[in-house]
Every structure is written in C-alpha cells, then in structure tokens.
C-alpha cells in the first residue's frame, strides 16, 4: 500500500531534517511573490500560505510590509522551524496547525498560496474537501496561487505519490468559480542537484 500523507509522516519529515535539507527548500520564493503580489493586493490584505511548512514566503511578505499573514500546515514541527527563524517577528503571524482537507476557516482571505501541497491530494474526496476549504475561506475577487509538479515533473515527493498538473488540468480541477489569469513554468533544483519541473498558476475568484 502507498504511504498516506498524514500528520505523522510530515511531523517526522520536519523533525528529522533541517529546512535546507528538504528537497523543496527555496531560500527566496521568487515565483510565488511574482504571482501573488498584484498591484491590487494591499499591505493589510489577508494572505494564507496553505501547507506553508518552513517556507520563507512568510519572511518575504513581512519584509515587504504585509501585516495580515497566516501560515497553515498539518505539521506543527514545520511551523516551529519558521517560528524560530522569524524570532520576535513570529508574533506578527497567525499560525494554524490543521489538515487543509478538514479545515473550516473562521475568517476570509484576499489571497491563498499553495506551493507543493495540492499535488499530494490524490483522491477526489481530498481534492473536493480542499476546494470546499478554499471556497469557504476566499473572498470574492481573492487571488489563488498554486504551484504543483508539472506534467513532466516527478511522480513522487517525500516518499509519497503526487498528482501532476498542467495549468489547464489544474484550472479544470478548481472549476468555474476560479478564473485562470497567469501561469509560469518553473524548474526547481533540489539541494541534491535534481531538477524538478513545476507549474505555478494564478486564479481569481469571481
């Protein structure tokens, strides 16, 4: 049987390695910033990084003066890494430990970012639950940026199978409520020197 994407799996992964040792480590989240930071995104926009793990996106957003940043992850051990890295700035961030397929947001967001999380949802049931969480959390006009392995990207990550996407198949998966506005092809080089092909796409909730 395939290993399940579970709290235990992700807790173990983050407890066992430094952030620089993780294959998805990215010191500067350039494409994410490029797609997220549209001129209409105000500094007090509510931004959620879904499955943010130990990502440096939160650092980059705080450095740019964004005041309402939330980071959600299934693994508390991942968020603890960002928390220690940010030191006193950690108190400016809203940290959420939750499984996105079971989460019901208490507030509404202007922007939803996901780098390499949605592609782990390999069952229709989990994808439906993710979409429901996104629809519930995002304001009309809100921005969605999702980065997944591309069709010619890896078939697995962190020992788990993934579902790969093109911008078109991701758009079809999200449905008509999310209007596609931009995509980028990205090659991420892991610390071990492997090249992984991603697609990043931006949508607007109509």
Q: By the criterion CB under 6 A, which residues form the site for ligand SAM?
A: 5, 10, 24, 51-53, 55, 73-75, 78, 99-101, 115-117, 120, 157
CB 111 within 8 A of CB 41: yes
| Closest to 93 in 3D by CA, of 138, 135, 118, 63 | 63
Shortest distance (Å) from residue 51 CB to ligand SAM: 3
3-state secondary structure of 106: coil
Nearer to ligand SAM, 116 or 134 (CB): 116
Report the residue closest to ligand SAM, judged by CB.
Answer: 53
Shortest distance (Å) from residue 129 CB to ligand SAM: 9
- Return the ∠ at Cα 70 (arms to 81 and 44), rounded to 5°: 135
Nearer to ligand SAM, 45 or 157 (CB): 157
* CA distances to 115, 118, 143, 148, 192 from 200, in Å: 8, 12, 13, 6, 22
Between CA 7 and CA 191 the distance in angstroms is 24
Nearer to ligand SAM, 59 or 99 (CB): 99
Shortest distance (Å) from residue 132 CB to ligand SAM: 13
Shortest distance (Å) from residue 124 CB to ligand SAM: 15
Shortest distance (Å) from residue 159 CB to ligand SAM: 11
Nearer to ligand SAM, 37 or 39 (CB): 37
- Return the ∠ at Cα 197 (arms to 41 and 74), rounded to 5°: 60
Shortest distance (Å) from residue 81 CB to ligand SAM: 10
* Three-state secondary structure of 1-44: CCCCCCHHHHHHHHHHCCHHHCCCCCCCCHHHHHHHCCCCCCCC
Name the strand (E) or helix (H) holding 185: strand 178-189
Nearer to ligand SAM, 111 or 117 (CB): 117
Nearer to ligand SAM, 140 or 162 (CB): 162
3-state secondary structure of 56: coil
């Amino acid at each position: 049987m395939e290993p399940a994407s579970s709290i235990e799996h992700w807790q173990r992964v983050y407890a066992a390695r430094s952030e620089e040792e993780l294959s998805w480590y990215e010191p500067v989240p350039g494409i994410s910033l490029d797609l997220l930071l549209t001129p209409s995104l105000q500094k007090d926009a509510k931004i959620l990084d879904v499955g943010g793990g130990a990502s440096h996106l939160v650092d980059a957003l705080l450095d740019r003066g964004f005041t309402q940043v939330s980071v959600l992850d299934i693994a508390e051990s991942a968020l603890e890494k960002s928390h220690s890295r940010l030191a006193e700035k950690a108190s400016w961030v809203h940290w959420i430990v939750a499984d996105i397929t079971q989460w019901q947001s208490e507030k509404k967001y202007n922007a939803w970012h996901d780098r390499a999380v949605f592609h782990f949802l390999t069952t229709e049931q989990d994808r439906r639950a993710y979409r429901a969480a996104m629809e519930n959390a995002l304001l009309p006009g809100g921005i969605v940026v999702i980065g997944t392995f591309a069709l010619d990207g890896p078939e697995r990550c962190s020992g788990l199978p993934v579902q790969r996407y093109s911008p078109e198949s991701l758009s079809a998966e999200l449905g008509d409520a999310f209007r596609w506005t931009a995509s980028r092809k990205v090659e991420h080089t892991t610390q071990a020197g492997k090249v992984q092909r991603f697609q990043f796409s931006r949508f607007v909730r109509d």
